[in-house]
Amino acid sequence: MKRILIIEDQQSIAELERDYLEIDGFRVDIKSNGKEGLTQALEQKYDLILLDLMLPDMDGFNICRKIRKEKNIPILIISAKGGDIDKIRGLGLGADDYISKPFSPSELVARVKAHLSRFERLTGQSSRPTNEIHIKNLIINQTARQVYLGGKKITLTTKEFDILNFLASNPNIVFSKDTIYDRIWGNDSYGDITTIAVHIKKIRDKIEKDPNSPHYIETLWGSGYRFNA
């Protein structure tokens, strides 16, 4: 999962950026002042940084220069200072793009994706690990056995993960409780298949906005369960 750091002192703008990015499957951290943002950027691993220029405690241009000395990652400046001089100065200090406020959230996400793709092509990195399932704002990392919803990590038990991974790996296909039990517990296992319903309920409680009206895992009465992609 790609990690993005937002350094922005206006909470409403930072949260708007975060919400749109998390919907697209990014993991987002926010720092509301320059000093904390700079420390976070230098000490943690991020794939891209969104940087505001007009911070109360530290000049955004200075932050950009310090980050660029240490990190080779995309830096996108977002600022109400839309003059050509500021743009030229920001790009000259190593920023990869300059977005003026107010901006379209969808355009912001598009630019983030474009710069990440460009950076991956230049560095030879893969744009998306093949061991990850991305469906809407749900990400399942099969190798690490981790699940993220809207950028936030979801803790699942071993069997909960196995069931979710199995259904999500076969989207829009109906599986009976017997089939799910056989695939997760094995054909030679003996037990009560009603445990499937219990596990499904627990999964829904963790990944569904409204578990009583599930969006991801649908029940087809008399048939089984289906993961909607």
Q: How many residues does the chain have?
A: 229
Task: Read off the pLDDT of each residue in 111-115 and give the average, rounded to a whole number.
Answer: 91
Looking at the chain, the whole-number percentage of residues with pLDDT higher than 70 is 92
The amino acid present at 141, given as its one-letter code, is N
Question: What pLDDT does 185 receive?
Answer: 84
pLDDT 10s digits, 20-33: 999 888 999 999 99
- The predicted pLDDT at position 80 comes to 75
State the CB neighbour count (10 A cutoff) for residue 222: 6
* Residue 175 burial (10 A CB sphere; 0-12, 13-18, 19+): buried
For residue 127, what pLDDT band results from cuts at 50, 70 and 90? very low
pLDDT higher than threshold 70 for residue 220 = yes
pLDDT confidence of residue 112: 93
In this prediction, residue 83 carries a pLDDT of 60
User: How high is the mean pLDDT of the chain?
Assistant: 87
At 132 the pLDDT is: 84
Mean pLDDT of all residues in 200-212: 95
Given 2.160.20.10, 3.40.630.10, 3.90.1200.10, 3.40.50.2300, which CATH number is that of 3-123?
3.40.50.2300
CA-CA-CA-CA torsion sign (131, 23, 35, 62): positive
For every residue of 58-84, DSSP letters joined together read S-HHHHHHHHHHH--S-EEEEES---H
Is pLDDT above 70 for 74?
yes
Model confidence at 34, in pLDDT bands (50, 70, 90)?
very high
* Cα 181 → chain centroid: 31
pLDDT at 188: 54
Q: Average pLDDT for residues 112-120, to the nearest whole number?
A: 88
Judge contact between 105 and 22, C-beta under 8 A: no
Amino acid at 222: G
Name the CA radius of gyration of the chain, rounded.
22
The tokens describing 66, both together, are 């310090």
Written as one letter, the residue type at 12 is S
**Domain covering 132-227, topology:** Arc Repressor Mutant, subunit A (1.10.10)
Domain chopping of the chain, boundaries? 3-123, 132-227
